[in-house]
Amino acid sequence: MKLKAGSFRDQDSFHKESGQETIYRGPDGSHLLRIEDFKVTNGPDLHIFLSPHPNPTNLDELYTFGAVDLGKLKGNIGNQNYPIPEDVDVSIQMTAVIYCVPFHVFFSIASLDDVG
């Protein structure tokens, strides 16, 4: 069942991204972030985060609001799935963020809106 969805947007003129993300709840109650039609500027050690902040632009905003690191990006092109840990409250997550860990750079942000 689809719970939330949105589209990635470019963070600046250098870091380009496109694609849609959707949070699903499975029949067993588990949650999954699915990214489709995905393409992002390549970078070192890119991770995907979920954040309750509506538009994080720095580390304080990302972490103060309790962002969750779903792990290293599986690739910079293509469809991808990321399991969401059981203890994460998906109802409060407002954005998905592509973030370069070693250089502390936001590559892209996508607002997550309720579906239905």
Unique residue bearing structure tokens 């592509």: 98
Give the fold, CATH level 3, of 2-114. Answer: Immunoglobulin-like (2.60.40)
How many Å apart are CA 77 and CA 86, to the nearest integer?
27
What pTM was estimated for this model as a whole?
Answer: 0.92
Percent of the chain with pLDDT strictly greater than 70: 93
> pLDDT band at 111, cuts 50/70/90?
very high
40, 79 Cβ separation under 8 angstroms: no
* pLDDT (0 to 100) of residue 66: 81
pLDDT exceeds 90 at position 58: no
Domain ranges for the chain: 2-114
